[in-house]
């Protein structure tokens, strides 16, 4: 079978060197990658690097190898065009259909999905011209990954960093897997809020009441949502996973912190997915200093109080309720009956029920579940990668959004 053909566009930003790692990941995972740097990108990383890593010649202009008509062929043959880093200038050219070099020509001839990974100073990213260019590109069906926040060129910090190349690779992988049929990402223009991980309720400054959730299912939901064009806010409770490219990650610790973050992010959101394992109870009293062991004295029993029911709160019928609210239910016994009862009780639109215990679901790469839907079908999702379950959840969400 032919290798999937990826065109990697590189424009002239300081993060161009990070595209070398993206290129490596793409080639090592079996993709045939053609690199199209702009002339300015070559001031940052030279053509020999791109040629050696990709195994293809590297041109920037349309007047090279003219007999092969590369300004048309490369785009026509591509399965994916990813531009990382995408400068403010490149975004402007793409939004306006300029075609003054090989990369911008290819942007007009490509019929495959296009992913932009912008990187620039915060001021450039926030400028109304850039905002409008990004909105135009998204409206036309491109996936434009939100830049990360952190250290920028020089002494500055802020939003505008190129996300980790490993995470940009994950977006490419998912967009490729969805195929060229899905030219318009079905969550484009949607803001989705996802909770992930497991809350920790402090007993004293050292100990906590926690659970086994790793956050992998919530992160898979975030990654797949970015690849389907959504703006993603990921409320992450005690996870130890790399930030998904394009997602705004809000770290939290306790159930009440998670509640504050989710309720705030849910204002104006289209979808809330509560994939985090939120503690139902917390110690009634948090002891300010470490509980000591004393000879001959038995420890005090720990009194618990109920935590707020965040899913029920977000799903409650009120004017600002997000159009689609999704819950997750981890059950050990009588999974389906428990799930159906919970769907009716919580007021959410979809409930993903999975069986936990005996090493299932928590911390693993795979999951198996049934998606229950108010007034809709029950969709069993067979045992498989968590991202496959995530995609089935987004399929159901996208269906509901279009009929909402
Ligand atoms: C050191 C340096 C770093 C730069 N980094 C960026 C950047 O990260 N993002 C950006 O949009 N422009 C950046 N620029 C400005 C671009 O290089 C400039 O807009 C250029 O015209 C982009 O050309 P291209 O889009 O054709 O590659 C940088 C310039 C310099 C000198």
Cα–ligand 1 centroid distance for 73 (angstroms): 27
Helices 128-139 and 88-96, packing angle to 10 deg = 50
Catalytic pick from 105, 133, 211, 307? 211
Distance CA 101, CA 9 (A): 11
Per DSSP, the three-state class of 120 is coil
Per DSSP, the three-state class of 304 is strand
Helices 165-178 and 216-227, packing angle to 10 deg = 70
308 is in an annotated binding site: yes
Distance CA 105, CA 90 (A): 12
pLDDT given at position 288: 87
Domain ranges of the chain: 5-178, 191-403
Fold category of 5-178 in CATH = Rossmann fold (3.40.50)
Out of 9, 10, 13, 151, mutate this one to test ligand 1's pocket (max ligand atoms within 8 Å of CB): namely 13
37 is in an annotated binding site: no
Residue recorded with tokens 């909770």: 195
Distance CA 361, CA 369 (A): 9
Specify the residue with its C-alpha closest to ligand 1, atom 4. Answer: 13
Answer yes or no: CATH 3.40.50.10300 is held by domain 191-403. Answer: yes
pLDDT given at position 114: 97
Residue 108 in tokens: 């007009």
Going by C-alpha positions, the residue among 169, 171, 152 that lies closest to residue 161 is 152
42 pocket-lining for ligand 1 (C-beta < 6 Å): no
pLDDT given at position 180: 58
Cα–ligand 1 centroid distance for 23 (angstroms): 20
Going by C-beta distance under 8 Å and a sequence separation of 6 or more, which residues neighbour residue 21?
165, 166
Cα–ligand 1 centroid distance for 15 (angstroms): 9
Per residue in 209-218, pLDDT (tens digit) is 999 899 999 9
> pTM for the whole thing?
0.92
pLDDT given at position 157: 86
pLDDT given at position 183: 59
pLDDT given at position 361: 57
60 pocket-lining for ligand 1 (C-beta < 6 Å): no
- Give the DSSP H or E segment for 10: strand 5-10
Q: Which residues of the chain have pLDDT under 50?
A: none
18 is in an annotated binding site: no
pLDDT given at position 359: 58
Query: Do 364 and 343 contact (CB within 8 A), yes or no?
Result: no
pLDDT given at position 264: 97
Going by C-alpha positions, the residue among 141, 86, 66, 88 that lies closest to residue 110 is 141
| Catalytic-residue membership of 211 | yes
Do 5-178 and 191-403 agree at the fold level?
yes
């Amino acid at each position: 079978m032919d290798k999937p053909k990826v065109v990697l566009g590189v424009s002239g930003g300081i993060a161009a060197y990070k595209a070398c790692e993206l290129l490596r990941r793409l080639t090592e995972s079996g993709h045939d990658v053609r690199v199209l740097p702009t002339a300015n990108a070559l001031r940052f990383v030279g053509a020999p690097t791109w040629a050696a890593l990709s195994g293809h010649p590297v041109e920037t202009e349309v007047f090279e190898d003219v007999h092969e008509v590369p300004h048309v062929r490369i785009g026509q043959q591509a399965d994916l065009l990813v531009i990382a880093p995408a400068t403010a200038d490149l975004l402007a050219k793409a939004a306006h259909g300029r075609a003054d070099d090989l990369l911008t020509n290819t942007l007009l001839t490509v019929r495959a999905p296009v992913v932009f990974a912008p990187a620039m100073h915060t001021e450039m990213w926030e400028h109304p011209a850039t905002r409008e260019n990004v909105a135009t590109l998204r409206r036309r069906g491109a996936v434009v990954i939100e830049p990360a926040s952190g250290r920028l060129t020089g002494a500055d910090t802020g939003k505008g960093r190129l996300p980790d190349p490993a995470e940009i690779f994950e977006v490419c992988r998912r967009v490729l897997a969805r195929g060229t049929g899905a030219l318009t990402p079905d969550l484009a223009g949607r803001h989705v809020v996802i909770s992930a991980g497991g809350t920790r309720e402090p007993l004293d400054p050292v100990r906590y009441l926690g659970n086994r959730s790793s956050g992998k299912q919530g992160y898979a939901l975030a990654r797949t949502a970015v690849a389907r064009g959504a703006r993603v806010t990921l409320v992450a409770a005690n996870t130890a996973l790399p930030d998904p490219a394009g997602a705004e990650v809000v770290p939290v610790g306790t159930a009440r912190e998670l509640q504050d973050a989710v309720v705030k992010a849910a204002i104006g959101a289209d979808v809330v997915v509560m994939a985090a394992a939120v503690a139902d109870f917390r110690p009634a009293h948090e002891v300010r200093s470490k509980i000591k062991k004393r000879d001959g004295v038995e420890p005090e029993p720990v009194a618990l109080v109920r935590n707020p029911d965040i899913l029920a709160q977000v799903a409650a019928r009120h004017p600002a309720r997000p159009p689609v609210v999704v819950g997750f239910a981890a059950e050990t016994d009588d999974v389906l009956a428990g799930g159906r009862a919970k769907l009716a009780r919580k007021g959410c639109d979809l409930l993903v029920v999975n069986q936990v215990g005996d090493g299932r679901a928590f911390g693993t790469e795979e999951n198996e579940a049934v998606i229950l839907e108010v007034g809709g079908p029950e969709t069993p999702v067979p045992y498989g990668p968590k991202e496959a379950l995530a995609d089935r959840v987004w399929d159901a969400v996208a269906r509901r959004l279009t009929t909402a």
